Amino acid sequence: MIKKKLCLLALPFLFVQPSLAEDNATAKMLVGEWRCEQKLTPEEGISLKIEYIQLFTAQHNFTLDGSMKMKFTVEEMNQMLGGDSLNYLFEGSGSWSVKPGYLTIKTENATMKPNSPIAEQLHKAGILDVNKLREMQSEDAFIINKLTKNALQLTHTKENFTTECSRN
């Protein structure tokens, strides 16, 4: 009778342990430096290309450092900007966690600054003021589509964009 009760008490742990082991294995594989890229179309006529280096630490913190290029495919906007793209540099840091099949990234600090003449002009004019993005905080959940030693592919759970990452 006692053995039966012990078995019943231990049963839930048998189901939990594999997911904990999976989380630990996933976390270990994520640790290190990744070169990532996102291509987004937030609105019709606007395309974004975001490239960054993200470093995941074993202490579940991260840093990122990258650039964003914004292009307009609407002819009037393209002409108004002289065919130039808006370029920005950004950096950030925060914490991360995993659960089976998911990565959650909590950005606690982020800064962005213009990196092209037209972006600087728009920033100074208050049209695209990057000061509004300073110290931005967010929490984003991603589906882990692929994770190998040198490749990582994520899909944002709410906005459905894909992030492709690699490392050497």
> Residue 22 CB: number of other CB atoms within 10 A?
14
Tell me the whole-structure pTM to 2 decimals. 0.80
Look up the domain containing 139 and give its range. Answer: 2-166
**CATH code (residue 130):** 2.40.128.280
Indicate the number of domains in the chain. 1
Lowest mean pLDDT among 73-77, 146-150, 154-158, 159-163: 73-77
Looking at residue 135, what is its pLDDT?
A: 52
Exposure string over 110-125, b if 16+ CB within 10 A, otherwise e: bebebebebbbebbee
Lowest mean pLDDT among 83-92, 100-109, 142-151: 83-92
pLDDT, tens digit (0-9, with 9 covering 90-100), for 12-22? 444 444 455 56
